[in-house]
Structure 1
Amino acid sequence: AWQTGEWGINTLTNLPMLTLSLAIMMKLGLAPLHFWMPEVLQGISLPTGLILSTWQKIAPMALLIQTSHLINLNLTIALGLASILIGGWGGISQTQLRKIMAFSSIGHLGWIIIVLKFDPQLSLFNFILYLIMTSAMFLSLINISATKILDISISWSKTPALTTTIMLILLSLAGLPPLTGFAPKLLIVTELVKQNATLLASSIMLISMLALFFYLRLAYIVTMTLPPNTPNSLLTWRTPHPTHLPTAIINVMALILLPLTPTLLLL
């Protein structure tokens, strides 16, 4: 404001913009400013974790998109690569689902930040898909009251349909086709190749294999392992569960939006 005579976020100079960017990225939980997020998410309940992972990231992301033309390209690439790496590496050895979702969030936001300078609208679209998939996962975990890997490994006997859906949501978060999560990775890699950043696109695809490993590990545990049980019957006594319409809707959106991606991009 002293140099330009205006009070506006779109008129910031280099140093204030760098400071603002780092502050916002810390709020988002991007690596290497991510250390608070896994511990905080582990210490709160699942509904609060849902709010922290989705709703509270909307305002910081809106500020970043609004100032994307001023943000430093090297900063976004460095923090994006670090976030994808830490998000995959940190989640491999975790057994607590909330910590796994924290590292998943870090990795997904890394993908979004990398393409922010090149195409802010694409970052916004990918952020919306991130909100949908993360909300679907948290709502599903809330319905079965699962906070550890052990909890979802024994949930099949009580809620087989929801457990199968959780497995598909995990594969969607991993970015496997033909699920919704494949769209962000496809669009981001395509945009980077168009910008002659083929090496960067190849690097983030290779690094994302770390995250793919723990997503597949979780999906395997959910659907293909049988925990030790002493009863003779395979199924435990099941009481009727109320239908959660919001969970059903968000789960469907987290799985089958890929064919609608071209239409959504035109909106």
Structure 2
Amino acid sequence: MHRGILVVLVFNVVVSTVMVMSSHHWFSVWVGLEINTLSILPVLCGQFFPRSVESTVKYFLVQSLSAAMVLNVVIVQAWLYSSWCVVQPLNVFTSLVMVLAIGLKLGLFPCHYWFPDVVQGVGFIQGLMLSTWQKLAPFVVLVYVVGSVNVVFLGILGVLSVLVGGWGGLNQSQVRKVLAFSSIAHVGWIVSVLGYSVGVGCVMFFVYIILNTGVFMLGDKFSLKSLASLSRLVFINPVGGFCFLLGVLSLGGLPPLFGFVMKFLALGCLVSNGVYVVGGFLVMGSLLSLFFYLRIAFNSSLVLFPQHVLSLFVWRVSGSQGGFSLYSAVLSVFVSVNLLGLSSLSVFLAFLN
């Protein structure tokens, strides 16, 4: 793909997201979501491999169904209340359909089935966009309607997403699929808390973007397609292997690392609202996810992943050359954030006051 075309497409993706975030009319919100989807499609299949084209078609079909559901909901709202304003409360039926439509875009249970397969079929940078930026506009729409949605219903969807994300990642050997199931679990955490505190949910979403960005960029830097290639990374680039280890453990939410901020804020919000059952199930689902996070860390730092390859070292690893670049600078920033740990907790608590 020509660089100028890529710049225009990325610019459209950014503008469409800003359009959704700044709109107060349902039709402009729907137009922003559609522009966002149509602009990202050529980026997903830019290399034009059969697998990436297949994933792009799947993504297009899922997003088209979701956009159709959103449009039908807003038409019903306009027919019932003669209003296209996003602050108009939804009734029971339209709120249910809207949550399912947004769940398709976010990869939330029970609409998560497409997300791991699509992320596996595209590159790391495209998977990063699907896991972070492409969820920003649907997340804003969910914030618009969260006041009309039953918080118990959101809590159930969040708990099931965390359990499915943890259970689905246990038997995976592909790094991108593991990160996709991890994304499903993290979105479940965010949605469970969003019904009780929009501020805490927004801070958790911001932390989730930082964590995922660092891990996906490391995976793209060292071409970590499977856990077998990850086990050789520590011998080829010890610093890269150590940083990836920290990023994965931070996704698991271990206390010294930055990812614990997300779990701490979520559990604090749930306990303060007396939602102990949801918090307990979220912790149980998080333990499932922590199992395969520790499995990745163990295989990447202590032992070799089980494999049938006789050669231990891969002498030509893409992206392992030295030198300074903007990509390396951005990567170092996001990786170094994971080292801040609990020292940055007070900064994020300040945003809630």
What is the letter of the counterpart of residue 61 of structure 1? F
Contact 1:129 1:184 in 2 (8 A): yes
Partner residue in 2 for 1:165: 243
Alpha-carbon distance, 1:59 to partner: 0.4
Which residue of the partner structure matches residue 72 of structure 1?
150
Deviation at 1:75, TM superposition (A): 1.9
Contact between 1:169 and 1:255, CA under 8 Å: does it hold in 2?
Answer: no
Q: Match for 2:114: what amino acid?
A: W
Q: Report the Cα offset of residue 10 of structure 1.
A: 1.9
Displacement of 1:190 after TM fit? 1.3
Aligned to 1:200: 278
Do residues 33 (structure 1) and 111 (structure 2) align?
A: yes
Residue 198 (structure 2) pairs with residue 120 (structure 1): yes
Q: Deviations over 1:208-236 (max 9, x none)?
A: 111010000000011111467668xx996
Give percent identity, aligned residues only. Answer: 34
Q: Which moved more, 1:161-170 or 1:190-199?
A: 190-199
| CA deviation after TM superposition for structure 1 residue 257, in Å | 4.6
Q: Which residue of 2 aligns with 1:242?
A: 323
Counterpart residue number, 1:262:
346
Q: Is the 8 A contact 1:10 1:70 kept in 2?
A: no
133-142 or 59-68, which moves further after superposition? 59-68
Structure 2 distance, partners of 1:59, 1:126, is 15
Bigger relative CO (Cα 8 Å, ≥ 6 apart): 1
Question: Matches of residues 1-267 of structure 1 in structure 2 within 5 Å?
Answer: 1-11=78-88, 12-226=90-304, 240-243=321-324, 244-267=328-351
1:92 alignment partner, SS class: coil
Structure 2: runs of 5+ lacking an equivalent: 1-77
Q: Deviations over 1:68-93 (max 9, x none)?
A: 21122122111101100000000000
Q: CA deviation at 1:196?
A: 1.0
> Contact between 1:157 and 1:236, CA under 8 Å: does it hold in 2?
no
Aligned AA (1:101): L
- How far apart are 1:197 and its partner, in Å? 1.1
Listed one character per residue, the Cα deviations across residues 81-136 of structure 1 (whole Å, up to 9, x for unaligned) are 11000000000000011110110000000000001110011000000000000010
| Cα deviation digits, residues 150-185 of structure 1 (max 9, x gap) | 111111122110110100111100000111110111
Q: Could you tell which deviates more after superposition, 180-189 or 252-261?
A: 252-261
When structure 1 is superposed on structure 2, of 137-146 and 203-212 the one drifting more is: 203-212
Separation in 1, partners of 2:316, 2:126: 30
Contact kept? 2:260, 2:341, Cα under 8 Å: no
Greater helix proportion: 2
**Number of residue pairs matched by the alignment:** 265
- Distance, in Å, in 1 between the alignment partners of 2:135 and 2:267 is 23
TM-score if structure 2 supplies the norm length? 0.71
The RMSD of aligned alpha carbons is 2.0
SS at match of 1:264: helix
Determine if contact 1:133/1:172 at 8 Å carries over to the other structure: yes
Query: For residues 250 and 187 of structure 2, what CA distance do their matches in structure 1 show?
Result: 15
Give the TM-score of the pair, scaled to structure 1. 0.93
